[in-house]
Chain A
Amino acid sequence: MVTRVLVPMDDSAMAERALRYALEVHPDAEITVLHVVGEPSAMMGRAAGLALADDLEEAAEEAAGEVLTRAREIAAEYDVEITTRKAVGHPARVILDRAGDYDAVVMGTHGGSLRDRLLVGNVAQRVFSRSPVPVTVVR
């Protein structure tokens, strides 16, 4: 039985749909939303900003805050308590590192623009092909 579900999220609508899907399909599971900050950006400013911050914990918190708050709001609509986690680094790597601790991964197909694809790559595709646990890709 699926009891622990990992839902990696970015700030896209697709990610929100993935969370809603997870909440609907796994109503009794323990859902953890993971947001990875510091991914490659147009001028690598995001990653550098985190690296240079006096307090990484705080900086990561600030960067992840919006997405994780949104995730909790969505979960509240379903009357479900979720766990939220933040991490720094390259999204696909971090997700793959942590996927092993869960029974399943539910995520959106792709977050964003062509730029994100060029810079970050297709995260869902990488997770899908390398994850140690079953992955549901929501579209």
Chain B
Amino acid sequence: MSFSLLFLGVAASIFVGFNIGGSSTGIAWGPAVGAGLIRKTTAAAVMTFFVFLGGWTVGRNVMDTLAGDIITAPITLEAGVAVLAFIGLGILVANVFGVPVPTSMTTVGAIAGLGLATGTLNFQTIGRIVSWWIVTPIVGFWVGAVIGRYFYPELNRRFQVVTSEGPLLAVERGGRIPTIRLGPNTTRREVVSTAVVFVIGCYMAFSAGASNVPNAVAPLVSDGALAPDTAIVLATLAIGFGGFTIARRTMESVGGELSDIPLLAALIVMLTAATITTALSYIGIPISLVMATVMTIVGLGWGRATRPITARQAVRGETDTELSMGALKAEPDTEITRIGEEERAEVQNVGSLFNPHAVAKYLSMWIIGPSMSLALSYGFFLVFPFVGW
């Protein structure tokens, strides 16, 4: 009984990990692959390594929260398998409908449902988690908006990713010791920019590991069905498996979204999102990479789109820019338009790309997703109270 149940649990873990691997590899490496800087297989291999690193180090803090802090009693194996099934179901629904629902939220929702049904929910922990869920999108948006509005054009002027023909580096075997030098058409700038893209991808992969490894296995670790170390390895393998297989597709869908924005912007987004995700994972808050990523994208786009109007007007929703002509046009030769200055006619419509209504609609999915998983899990554990409680 216990063995077959464990088998079921591991299978569910692998399913969850596999899907996480698909989507997070897409987010972490989509831009680099899209820009032709790295091959998909290489991306998946590097992904697996850094996911492991993230899961093994920072991920343990999240594991502790999910496995032991949300509910006051350990999650039994039976309940763990059911929780994993709900997480898997959430991912399945998200995949089928193509709606991005953060896995961490589904996980917390499912575990909290179990806690509610059995009267073991630790409200203090859940309150702390939910507060961070509210703060995170705001932080992501704010960082994105500030960069998009004040720094992006300048950065864009300075930073350019170039790829030349031929290999990036060449190995010279002439001397006694083989030396590595730049490839035939490689410029210094190319090496630096490729390195930046690569390093940021690794960082993103690390944060994905830290935040997502526990999602796949925490319910099994809680009551000791799996040792934490074994569980982390298991989750890494499952995520890596997803990275090597379905990520080929998600790099075009999920990663494609990131490729819709310029590479520089994608790098800013990734750096911000990975930092937020790693920091929160470090303090044990389960958070999804998707959440920080999307909000930074929205912030960046919004910040850039509202450049033609002043911040006060943007916040108030006044987009009438007729008045701003003239006053600030003192330097006709500057390429970058100053804040509040009028850009070309059509650019004025750009503000409408991020109307609050559309963004609110988007965010509502982040409320519906975890609520649904909470409700389903709560109902399930009410009807089937498991032995041992």
Contacts and interface: CB of A to CB of B under 8 A. Distances in A.
A69 interface: no
Contacts of A94: 352
A37 to B, nearest CB: 9
A52 B362 contact: no
B107 to A, nearest CB: 20
A42 B258 CA distance: 10
Given A45-B258, A115-B99, A50 B353 contact: yes
B362 A48 contact: no
Q: Main SS of chain B's interface residues?
A: helix
A46 to B, nearest CB: 5
Which one of A44, A57, A114, A120 has the greatest number of beta carbons of chain B within 10 Å? A44
Interface in B328-363: 344, 346-347, 349-350, 352-355, 357-359, 361-362
A139 interface: no
B265 interface: yes
23 contacts: A40-B362, A41-B257, A43-B257, A43-B293, A45-B258, A46-B260, A47-B301, A47-B353, A50-B301, A51-B304, A51-B350, A51-B353, A51-B354, A56-B346, A90-B353, A90-B355, A93-B352, A114-B97, A115-B98, A115-B99, A118-B97, A119-B358, A120-B358
Interface string A44-82: 111111111110110010000000000000000000000
A89 interface: yes
Interface in A109-123: 113-115, 118-121
Interface string A91-132: 001100000000000000000011100111100000000000
A133 interface: no
Interface of B: 97-100, 148, 152, 156, 253-254, 256-262, 265, 290, 293-294, 297-298, 300-302, 304-305, 344, 346-347, 349-350, 352-355, 357-359, 361-362, 365
A8 interface: no
Contacts of B357: 90
Contacts of A93: 352, 355
Contacts of B359: 40, 44
B160 to A, nearest CB: 12
Contacts of A57: 344, 346
B74 to A, nearest CB: 36
A44 B344 contact: no
Contacts of A14: none
Interface residues of A, number: 32
B301 A42 contact: no
Contacts of B256: 45
Nearest to A117: B97
A118 B361 contact: yes
B261 A45 contact: yes
A51 B262 contact: no
B294 A43 contact: yes
Given A118-B365, A119-B99, 13 more contacts: A40-B358, A40-B361, A43-B257, A43-B290, A43-B294, A43-B297, A45-B260, A50-B301, A50-B350, A52-B152, A56-B346, A89-B352, A89-B353
A88 to B, nearest CB: 5
Contact of A42 (B253, B261, B352, B358): B253
Contacts of B100: 42-43
